[in-house]
Amino acid sequence: MAKRQDRVELKGSARAALPGGQDVGPADPNQQIEVSVLLRRGSKPDEYPSAAEMGAGLPRERKYLSREEFARQHGASTADLEKIRAFAAQYGLKIVNEDRARRIVKLGGTVQAFNDAFGVNLRRYQHSSGAFRCRTGSLTIPAELESVVEGVFGLDNRLQAKPHFRLRRRKPNAQAAAVSYSPLQVARAYGFPSGATGAGQCIAVIELGGGYSAADLDSFFSNLGISTPKVTAVSVDGAANSPTGDPNGPDGEVELDIEVAGAIAPGAQIAAYFAPNTDQGFIDAVTTAVQDATLKPSIVSISWGGPEDSWTEQSRNALNSACQDASTMGVTVLVASGDDGASDGSTNGTPTVDFPAASPYVVGCGGTKLTISGTAIGSEQVWNELSANEGATGGGISEVFALPSYQHSANVPKAPNGFVGRGVPDVAGDADPETGYNVVVDGQPAVIGGTSAVAPLWAGLLALINQTLGANVGYVNPLLYSTAAGATFHDITSGNNGDYSAGPGWDACTGLGSPNGSALLATLRSK
């Protein structure tokens, strides 16, 4: 430990105390834990594809990197891996796993060893949601690793995100006005293309808790007259498909994701990546899905998130980087924009956008209240049931991520702090639990809404489009905005989410609008 004194602060690692938590003493110094260390890309910045390059041309004209090519060109370098090995040995840590493509080295050791290695004081916290190992302040690392290490995750295991779904509550006075639909009815109303099943595609769903049962899936798909799609559970960081038996819990999220995406694209394989609900688990799940060279997801659907300011800078940067990497490989990432209106459930008193929906490399998915007449849209407006405690679509302006080039003509307002930021969402779909989706959860029929339903709905649509085009749409955001003037979207002009109102064109409630699926296919094929 001769160079221990020659240390620097790890940029972006500052962490506040757990809100509402009580410090009850030091963490057990002998407890064994595993920590993910994210390394820089092995390539130089000018060797990495720019956003303009990734978003240029129609999908069939693009040249994506294979996962093997990505790992070879942009994965962690041998020299950087050697530096981390030496660092681990210096502090008595073991190398649990090295993943060059994901740029993540998993280290194992005692709490005390990690306290020493990263200049931290891990503490035990009690909170209404459980007991956690937490830290405050910034991490430090040896000066020679300053340009090598981009993030360290897993020292602190507080909950990071929540699922964005809403199980319809029983409201006797409002039941007469409530309706519900199968995903197929919603797809027909939105004009999803026929003649495709999503065959040859793999849709990844990221899950930070709960699980599904084969019996539930069989029951749901049998009711629709559809064969149950192939569903594979992938364990990340020791988590697994573990149904809780409580439809109000994360099971509702997991089964909603699988059932909506699977109903739209029954020929696609669905891979559910289960990880712990921590920043480490979230990052490891997304990077695992994006870089999975076996199942090869072409679409990643994420229905979990939290207020942008509830993340550390290093966590936001790591997830944003993973979504950027997905773009180079033709993988589309779809993220729910939140279910608590413009505040996103934050208590800071100002509109707050949800992350990771705020990443410029994902398609942010907002919510509407959809009424279907026959097989077509009868009416559609912004989902806002806040007065009835039934939630509202998230949406707003990032105070972290700058306005991307594809939104330069979208008239995105400034963020509350004056920052010229990324606007959320990009697209929308039915999400109001009062016009929700008929699903099966924990053995029982249920009606669920939330922007959680919109991400897998769009995932299913893009699986159909990918199959039909014979090419992945990949980083589709620039194409979505360039087509917005046509008939590609149903523009939502009525309603608000608390602080933002819908209007012609893009807005911070429903983005560009809900999809006209066949028109979007035609545009992506021939524009």
Is position 434 annotated as part of the catalytic site? no
Catalytic option among 253, 325, 385, 426? 253
Residue 365 and residue 334 in contact, taking contact as beta carbons nearer than 8 Å: yes
Which residues have C-beta within 8 Å of that of residue 424, sequence separation ≥ 6?
A: 337, 353, 354, 357, 358, 364, 366, 394, 395, 396, 397, 398, 508, 511
For the question of residue 259 being annotated catalytic, the response is: no
| Residue-wise DSSP of 129-140 | TEEEEE--B--E
Query: Are the CB atoms for 401 and 421 separated by under 8 Å?
Result: yes
Task: Determine whether 452 is an active site residue.
Answer: yes
- Options 213, 321, 346, 452, the catalytic residue: 452
What distances in angstroms separate CA 76 from CA 73, 289, 400, 459, one per listed residue?
A: 9, 18, 26, 30
3-state helix, strand, coil in the chain (%, to 5): 30, 30, 45
Out of 207, 251, 255, 257, pick the active-site residue.
Answer: 257
Sign (positive or negative) of CA dihedral 484, 489, 493, 497 = negative
Rounded CA-CA distance 256/399 in Å is 31
The residue count of the chain comes to: 527
Eight-class DSSP state of 308: G
CA distances from 126 to 26, 158, 265, 290 (A): 12, 10, 43, 34
Residue 272's region, left for phi above 0, alpha for psi from -120 to 50, else beta, is beta
Whose CA is closest to 492, among 448, 450, 431? Answer: 431
Q: Which of the 8 DSSP states describes residue 41?
A: P
CA–CA distance from 375 to each of 6, 226, 453, 513 (Å)? 68, 19, 19, 19
Q: Enumerate residues 6+ apart whose C-beta is below 8 A from 127.
A: 18, 20, 21, 22, 158
The secondary structure element, H or E, covering residue 203 is strand 202-207
Which residue intervals of 307-412 are DSSP H helices? 313-328
Q: Which residues are catalytic?
A: 253, 257, 452
